[in-house]
Structure 1
Amino acid sequence: MKHLTKTAAALALLAVPAFAQQDTITLGMVLEPPNLDPTGGAAAAIDEVVYANVFEGLTRFGSDGSIQPALAESWEVSEDGTVYTFKLHEGVTFHDGSEMNADDVVFTLNRARAEDSTNAQKALFAGIDSVEAVDPLTVKITLSEPNGNFPFNMAWGDAVIVAEETVDQLATDPIGTGPFTFSEWVQGDHVTLVRNENYWGEPVALSTATFKFISDGNAAFAAMMAGDIDAFPNFPAVELLSQFENDPRFEVIVGSTEGETILAMNNQQPPLDDVRVREAIAHAINRQDIIDGAMFGYGTPIGTHFAPHNPDYVDLTDLSDYDPDASRALLEEAGATDLTLRLMLPPPGYARNGGEIIAAQLREIGIDIEITNLEWAQWLEQVFGGKDFDLTIVSHTEPADINIYARPDYYFQYDNPDFQALIEELSVTTDPARRTELNQAAQRMIAEDYVNAYLFQLAKAGVKNANIEGLWENAPTQANDLTDVHWTE
């Protein structure tokens, strides 16, 4: 277990900040976003800053995971399920003062689905056949086939509406329609947003919001105790959270996330192209050891890529239960002995700490592991983009994203036509009972193919000043939505 530095310990004992009523907030974040354009980057940290704050989509996720109207005040669906007509709110403007209308929706969606699109979730838009501005406040979207999930797709951060005139500057100077405008980004330190006084919707209570990047647990603890940080929704050192619990100035918040944390395997890279090797790796892992050792007990074991809080979840952990003897037998059967595999680890503690535990467990079955620690930008370039890895650990925080396994070019390179056909059927199915059947079949297929080793569902464990209300307890998407956040006294 990590121990506090002398400086952090002193601050814990001596700091007694006076938290006065105010309309500003400073939030801690573990990772700094590589850019601020949610339509052109895969990093969750982007949405953690800008989702619902700076940018808005036609629809949005509520704190309970429900799909709610956003820039679209309402929508209608044709009887055959292929035409969605969205009615936009009147009087919406971008932060530069220009009008947001149906033409911007047409531009945004056509850009996202274009052949040269850099959108990280391009699959969300693949079923769009055409987008038409019926009038300035009406957009008709025609799909190539029915999709009962289309309003859900439009709620993602990757689907926020942007203007053609400012799209080239979104990475560093984002212009959206949200209740906050971008103020400054001090690289390596913080991003600051300020209240949009011309916001079209319900005004927010906060005048200023600063997102400060602190990856070290002891530094995060010291910053909270000193009052430099008002809330840390995803605290980087869960082992220290207990020290806030008996302090009346703070409140510890533990909720659930959409984050399936996995040991991802490169399915096209020998020997991992052999399902017996992947299964051997899965059986070599003791999930509870990782949850206890890397997450200090925070986390729920999973056996497939699906959130346990979802009503369609199937507990398949028994398919990959801890059985090192079975692992050794599978490796021998596959002729895969004296293996050395590369484990690439991004910065989060679940990856770095969990990687050490997994490496030790794999060495027990005869697989030598070479660990390389990567910064987030390196991980995105080498692993996610370049597919240059054997193993990696990452938490997939996108909601209901089992469909990524239907993309053969995705970074773990799983290519199964049967799974692709299953997801294709799911995408056009509107009957709830049939959707449940398909979701459960999809979960079982990837579990039985041992595409990846499924570790645990990431908990949302954080801390806040006790006088702050309105922060999300759970995380239906990767966001620090500040639209309802306020101080009580």
Structure 2
Amino acid sequence: MGEKTNENQEGDSMKHLHLTAAALALVAGPALAQQDTISIGMVLEPPNLDPTGGAAAAIDEVVYANVFEGLTRFGPDGSVQPALAKDWDVSEDGMVYTFYLNEGVTFHDGSEMNADDVVFSLDRARAEDSTNAQKALFAGIESVTAAGPLTVEVTLSEPNGNFPFNMAWGDAVIVAPETVEQLATTPIGTGPFTFSEWVQGDHVTLVRNENYWGEPVALSTATFKFISDGNAAFAAMMAGDIDAFPNFPAVELLSQFESDPRFEVVVGSTEGETILAMNNKQPPLDDVRVREAISHAINRQDIIDGAMFGYGTPIGTHFAPHNPDYVDLTEMSNYDPEKAKALLEEAGATDLTLRMMLPPPGYARNGGEIIASQLREVGIETEITNLEWAQWLEQVFGGKDFDLTIVSHTEPQDINIYARPDYYFQYDNADFQALIEELSVTSEPGMRTELNQQAQQVIAEDFVNGYLFQLAKVGVINAKIEGMWENAPTQANDLTGVRWVE
């Protein structure tokens, strides 16, 4: 989710071999050394560094593919690719997946990674007391067994053609039982970078894993620096303290980068459905007429223009517009304040005051002010409380103590969260749950499309949440850097292919 949320190594990003003018005149010597360090800006600091035990997107933004790896992984185009598993087979009935692991893989502490670690990781994720934020990914697993040192058999309770996709999530990375208790503060994985330090409130530093089992990375050091303020982010980029800010927090300042040849502005798409989430069990929001009224009170384009400076695509359901199964349902909840007023009167819900809890991102804080003004026009007052990320996770996501909140759900193809009655917005629809259950066991592409579209229609008709816009991925990078992801098929700053070029 998104909201499933950095460093201070001064001078490191400008490490050059300095020669005096005299030396250059006398020696046709070495060229300037190739830069191999990078500073990455991030808006939010992760609450911990264990992707298997936390919901914040910022965790994966640091460690996905860099520190931790799963059986499979997402590529920059959203495709599912081999990772720790070099290949896999599926039984004819679709019930058994056999994964064949790469040889010579070690954890960062030098211990071997083998089939037993995979068994441990998947059993831990699906255990009754699991704290995995995406426990539903593992719910269909009947058993996990080591069929050999480098062979793992996963037996499902029913066929699931999406299982390799599920295993590519950051929540499904492989960890070792010996180090699992320390992952939150000292992560040990199998990836091409090892954890170096975390100065809380400032940065996390990773260094190249010289014993990496796969293709070595070009970067020797990567520092993730946490800068939530847009003006501070702008100043850090201009000063060269930050080399890349993949999700730049102040889109209103992008034009200044566009006119500067030192930088490249990259606009891509994300999996982030940005929603005005409503507590469906909390009166008066347990009345669909009130939820529909709120949806009709919202002018999406005003929010996109005012909070995102025009970056964002309007949505009418919880599905990414770039997905081929997307259905445009925005007209179902079009801006119609008069209809909103009539629905509130019909529901006997006049003179409402609702609590709106807002996490730190600009889309939430700025969007919340705009939505509060729009709701006021139809007779709904809001009490806004700005929360830090850890507070939001505890009170809203965990404690369900809210009426309204704004958050971007950045997990890929995650409409199935609406089939979880205990999820933070507490939507409980048995028919929808049955629909998602059918989807989970369906592998035929045409039928999956039909079920995905039915699911979108159901939650739109129930006005579960106010669907605002698909979050754009707007980044600023040094023009000499290549290999950063343009789009965000998952919440990650994958540095495995990043390098400096002259």
User: For the superposition of Structure 1 and Structure 2, which TM-score range results when normalised by the shorter chain?
Assistant: over 0.9
Q: Which runs of 4+ in 1 moved over 3 A?
A: 17-21
- Output the amino acid matched with 2:111: S
Q: Distance in 1 between matches of 2:254 and 2:144?
A: 48
Q: Which residue of 1 aligns with 2:323?
A: 310
Q: Deviations over 1:258-293 (max 9, x none)?
A: 000000000000000000000000000000000000
Q: 1:105 aligns with which of 92, 111, 118?
A: 118
Q: 1:189 aligns with which of 167, 178, 202?
A: 202
Q: Which residue of 2 aligns with 1:154?
A: 167
Q: Distance in 2 between matches of 1:299 and 1:444?
A: 21
In the TM superposition, what are the counterparts of 1:253-402 in structure 2 within 5 Å? 253-402=266-415
SS of residue matched to 2:77 = coil
Q: Distance in 2 between matches of 1:345 and 1:76?
A: 45
Q: Which residue of 1 aligns with 2:35?
A: 22
Q: Which residue of 2 aligns with 1:34?
A: 47
Answering whether residue 223 of structure 2 is matched by residue 210 of structure 1, we say yes
Q: 1:47 aligns with which of 18, 35, 60?
A: 60
Q: Distance in 2 between matches of 1:157 and 1:401?
A: 14
SS of residue matched to 1:281 = helix
Answering whether residue 140 of structure 2 is matched by residue 141 of structure 1, we say no
| Cα drift, residue 23 of structure 1 | 0.2
SS of residue matched to 1:173 = coil
Q: 1:63 aligns with which of 76, 82, 86?
A: 76
Q: Which residue of 1 aligns with 2:469?
A: 456
Q: Which residue of 2 aligns with 1:227?
A: 240
Q: Which residue of 1 aligns with 2:141?
A: 128
Q: Distance in 1 between matches of 2:213 and 2:447?
A: 40
- Output the amino acid matched with 1:45: A
Q: Distance in 2 between matches of 1:190 and 1:395?
A: 23
Give the count of matched residue pairs.
Answer: 473
| Cα drift, residue 246 of structure 1 | 1.2
Q: Deviations over 1:5-27 (max 9, x none)?
A: xxxxxxxxxxxx99974000000
Q: Which residue of 1 aligns with 2:496?
A: 483
Q: Distance in 1 between matches of 2:225 and 2:111?
A: 30
Give the conservation status (yes or no) of the 8 Å contact 2:161–2:442.
yes
Q: Distance in 2 between matches of 1:403 and 1:384?
A: 16
Answering whether residue 275 of structure 2 is matched by residue 246 of structure 1, we say no
Q: Which residue of 2 aligns with 1:168?
A: 181
Q: Distance in 2 between matches of 1:263 and 1:196?
A: 41
Q: Deviations over 1:189-215 (max 9, x none)?
A: 000000000000000000000000000
Q: Which residue of 2 aligns with 1:7?
A: none
**RMSD between aligned alpha carbons?**
0.9
Q: Distance in 2 between matches of 1:200 and 1:160?
A: 16
- Output the amino acid matched with 1:347: P
SS of residue matched to 2:97 = strand
Question: What residue ranges of structure 1 are gaps of 5+ in the alignment?
Answer: 1-16
Q: Distance in 2 between matches of 1:207 and 1:55?
A: 17
- Output the amino acid matched with 1:232: F
| Cα drift, residue 162 of structure 1 | 0.2
SS of residue matched to 2:449 = helix
Q: Distance in 1 between matches of 2:350 and 2:227?
A: 42
SS of residue matched to 2:473 = strand
SS of residue matched to 2:47 = coil
Q: Deviations over 1:203-245 (max 9, x none)?
A: 0000000000000001100000000000000001011011000
Q: Deviations over 1:409-439 (max 9, x none)?
A: 0000000000000000000000000000000
- Output the amino acid matched with 2:94: G
| Cα drift, residue 313 of structure 1 | 0.2
- Output the amino acid matched with 1:221: F
TM-score normalised per structure 1: 0.96
Q: Distance in 1 between matches of 2:259 and 2:305?
A: 22
